[in-house]
Structure 1
Amino acid sequence: MPIFLEAKLLVWLSPLHRESWLWACPELEEKPYAIVPSPIDPSQFYDMKLPREGVICVTSLFEFKGRKNVLQWARDHPGQEITCAGGNPLPNEPLPPNCRDVGQISPWQVNETYNKHKAFLHLPATPQPFDRTVSEAYLAGCDIIGNKLIGALSYDWFKSREEVAEHCGNSSKLFWEKIEEVLND
């Protein structure tokens, strides 16, 4: 905690990220801060106009990313085919019959993989600072099936793909502007 209290600037990845920390450490309320989204290159995530079907989740089979929530959602929606990418840390625990584990996806196939699916499923069990996969999938044209624990969704501007592209695409610039302000004080 001392490192936070002595920091010249606290950088949060989303409003939810900051709120979660303030709930646990209210003494951070008065510290200077910036809220800067995770940087995403919007030219890498776009709608390719491919035929779409089913739902995809990425890294959601990890416990802290909402494994139980995702598997319950799958059981509650047996008619939805769900592609699970990013690894399964419990391969001996059977998945519902409508889930298919495809393992890791190479980075250059991620946009195309999103584009083959109608929706992106992410139901974390704990507050997540940002969850960039949600923004990537959204930019690629997926509808989002999520909950209130996704940092990216706590931004007021997460309403249109254009705004998400603008804010995430300019976040590196914003980050360095905030750092420069602190260094120049």
Structure 2
Amino acid sequence: MDIGYLAYLDPFVFGGGGEMVMREVLTFGKNAGHKIDLYCVKGQKIRKADFLANKDLFILADIFNCYTHPHFYSWGLLSELISRQKYIHFDNAYVEICNLGYLPCCGQTGYDNCVYKREGKFKRFLATAYKLGIGNAVHDLNGCFRLNTRWLYRESKLNIFVSPLHRNIALKMLGQDVIDPSYVMKPIVDTRRFRDMQETRDIENLYIGPLNEAKGIENIRNLFPGGDITLIGDIGEERYRQYGDYIGHVAYSEIHKYFNRAKNFVFLPEWPEPMGRVVIEAALCGCNLITNDNVGALSFNFDIRDPSNFDNVLEEIWDMIEGII
């Protein structure tokens, strides 16, 4: 197939969780013989002629990751693409539903006006749908972003989510008639790297990830007020640097070594974490899990400690994609 891939971030340049997933998906597709051209705002230069070239299929992924970027493709160009091309939509987070950081309402409000924007509780992008020129848009700065992006899901031949929890939040906010047909992909995990190496566990409690409120740092502080926990990741606020045993950034290639030293892996997100692959990686490495109900990785109906449950994930995804044509 001749495929176009449209995203805000180039997954072969950037290394966030969603980009790691898409890198694996696209690499598998290329190795299977598909021609895949990438059109990404950050990491490449997009030419309109290429962007609107006829393809067998377009894959759209997290295209509104930063929709106020000065070089973002216009809504008019997106509308033209969607009216002409067959596409599927990968949803790795909530950026196509909410243009605030970390979905502060947690998908619970369902109102057309956003209380978090009105009260200024979170940083927000100031560009409006009016400025971007989309027809039938809600031009209110306080309006819920999902009202402007339902068409992206509704016109897609398939909406792909990263966990049952992730799909359920989208379902609540958009409606089943908007998100279907949909598919929940199983996590892509390197089970050869993430395994129990039977080593001495000299770390009592471990957290790996960004240190911010949405990822659960305040919940962790409440559970361990004395700071009896080792923390690895980027600092969201400088005050967290003084809490616990803060190690800082560690390369992803070294993370499995820390999992194999930890007795407990702690992950208590405040927001509905779309997937949280780090929880699966910790479980495969033999950690006891201290978690809550906001972890997408734990919403699957299979044992995440069993590595066989992560076999043939990419084959299954591409079977779905190839079936669209």
Same fold (TM over 0.5): yes
Identify the residue that residue 133 of structure 1 maps to in structure 2. Answer: 278
The answer on 1:102 being equivalent to 2:240 is no
Shift of 1:34: 1.1
SS in 2 for 1:64: coil
The answer on 1:122 being equivalent to 2:267 is yes
Shift of 1:50: 1.0
SS in 2 for 1:134: helix
Asked if the contact 1:45/1:137 (under 8 Å) is kept, the reply is yes
Query: Normalising to structure 2: TM-score of the pair?
Result: 0.51
Asked if the contact 2:164/2:184 (under 8 Å) is kept, the reply is yes
Unpaired segments ≥5 residues, structure 1 = none
Identify the residue that residue 305 of structure 2 maps to in structure 1. Answer: 161
**Alignment-mate amino acid for residue 280 of structure 2:** S
Shift of 1:63: 2.1
The answer on 1:33 being equivalent to 2:177 is no
Asked if the contact 2:163/2:184 (under 8 Å) is kept, the reply is yes
Identify the residue that residue 50 of structure 1 maps to in structure 2. Answer: 199
Identify the residue that residue 175 of structure 1 maps to in structure 2. Answer: 317
State the identity %. 28
> Hey, what's the Cα distance between the residues in 2 that align with 1:46 and 1:100?
24
Asked if the contact 1:60/1:84 (under 8 Å) is kept, the reply is no
**Alignment-mate amino acid for residue 254 of structure 2:** Q
Residues 48-73 of structure 1 show CA distances to partners (whole Å, capped at 9, x for unaligned) of 11111311101152222112111111
SS in 2 for 1:118: strand
Shift of 1:177: 1.3
Q: 1:60 to 1:46 in 2, by over 3 A?
A: same
Asked if the contact 2:153/2:179 (under 8 Å) is kept, the reply is no
Asked if the contact 1:114/1:142 (under 8 Å) is kept, the reply is yes
Question: 217, 220, 240: which one pairs with 1:70?
Answer: 220
> Hey, what's the Cα distance between the residues in 1 that align with 2:200 and 2:295?
27
> Hey, what's the Cα distance between the residues in 1 that align with 2:279 and 2:176?
30
> Hey, what's the Cα distance between the residues in 2 that align with 1:21 and 1:135?
22
Structure richer in helix, relative to its length: 1
Shift of 1:28: 4.0
Q: Whose Rg is larger?
A: 2
Question: 229, 232, 242: which one pairs with 1:85?
Answer: 232
Asked if the contact 1:60/1:66 (under 8 Å) is kept, the reply is no
> Hey, what's the Cα distance between the residues in 1 that align with 2:162 and 2:241?
34
**Count of paired positions:** 175
Unpaired segments ≥5 residues, structure 2 = 1-149
RMSD: 1.8
SS in 1 for 2:246: strand
Q: 1:172 to 1:68 in 2, by over 3 A?
A: same
Q: 1:34 to 1:93 in 2, by over 3 A?
A: closer
Shift of 1:170: 2.6
Query: Normalising to structure 1: TM-score of the pair?
Result: 0.87
Which deviates more from structure 2 when the two are superposed, residues 14-23 or residues 172-181? 172-181
Asked if the contact 1:66/1:125 (under 8 Å) is kept, the reply is yes
Shift of 1:173: 1.6
